[in-house]
Amino acid sequence: MATPAEDIAPADNFAGARKCMVDSQVRPNRVTDPRVLSAMRRLPRERFLPASVTALAYADQDVPLGDGRFLMEPMVFARLLQAATLRDNERVLVVGAGTGYGAAVLAACGCRVTALEESAPLLAIAAAALSVEAPGVTLVAGPLAAGWPALAPYDLILIEGAVPSIPAALIAQTQQETGRIVGAIHAEGRITQAVVAEATAAGLGISPLFDCATPPIPSLRPTPAFVF
């Protein structure tokens, strides 16, 4: 005879974990944007993960996706979106989109989203998940440091992983005066910080938001220089 726990379908278990993620991880960290909260309550993170790690879908941590990449910790991700001050119908580029979850959340918040990824295995997961959960997202493949100039300028660029500095190509593809970039910066020997950067005529103004432990994007790490 099945126990009560065994009678609960996996989808129901995930739905409960999804609600708990928002109520215990996201909202207590001063995330109040109703669009972000609603999207994260609705979208099934487990569908954006490799089968081997679906049990970690709602954990309070960065979840490994393979190829040295991670799905960003829910609290950090939500706070970045709140800091971005999302506006309806904005053109958004997600750099290092991974398996597409962040792009799906932004689309659910009313943005026009282009998701850029360079890893073939992650692109395959993203294509399958986005076709069901966020079919309006434009998924593109290419080197992350180059951005996606074909659809620039962007009102917002989200970098889904830590970088030593914001690539010049992304700065150039950000709408002047009103454009923003959000992500995490990890300079050598320093604590990783979530940041929001604003594009102005005088250059990029970067404001730190909070400390975080977001893993770096391997391909955007600096290439070690040969020393004689």
Q: What is the pLDDT of residue 84?
A: 97
Average of per-residue pLDDT values in the chain = 92
pLDDT digits (tens, 9 = 90+) for 209-227: 999 999 999 999 876 555 5
CATH number, domain at 136? Answer: 3.40.50.150
* Strands 91-95 and 112-117, bridge-based pairing: parallel
Question: Which residues are CB-contacts of 1 (< 8 A; sequence separation ≥ 6)?
Answer: none
Residue 27's CB: how many other CB atoms inside 10 A? 15
Confidence at 189, pLDDT banded by 50, 70, 90 = confident
Cα gap 116→89, rounded to integer Å: 19
DSSP label at 25? I
Q: Does 87 fall in a domain?
A: yes
Q: What is the pLDDT of residue 7?
A: 43
Give the range of the structural domain holding residue 10, as residue numbers without chain letter: 4-220
Q: Does 225 fall in a domain?
A: no
Q: What is the pLDDT of residue 201?
A: 80
Cα gap 199→201, rounded to integer Å: 7
Q: Does 226 fall in a domain?
A: no
Question: Residues in the chain, how many?
Answer: 228
Q: What is the pLDDT of residue 77?
A: 98
Could you tell me if 219 and 144 are in contact, meaning their C-beta atoms sit under 8 angstroms apart? yes
Number of domains composing the chain: 1
**Residue type at position 190:** R
Label residue 212 exposed, middle or buried (CB < 10 Å: 0-12, 13-18, 19+).
buried
19-23, 50-54, 166-170, 184-188: least confidently modelled range: 184-188
Residue 47's CB: how many other CB atoms inside 10 A? 19
Q: Does 214 fall in a domain?
A: yes
Q: Does 127 fall in a domain?
A: yes
pLDDT surpasses 90 at 47: yes
Q: Does 138 fall in a domain?
A: yes
Omega before 215 within 30 of 0, i.e. cis: no
Q: What is the pLDDT of residue 99?
A: 98
pLDDT digits (tens, 9 = 90+) for 63-87: 999 999 999 999 999 999 999 999 9
* Of 68, 57, 64, nearest in space to 25 by CA: 57
The CA distances from residue 114 to 78, 93, 109, 206, 213, in Å, are 19, 5, 14, 23, 26
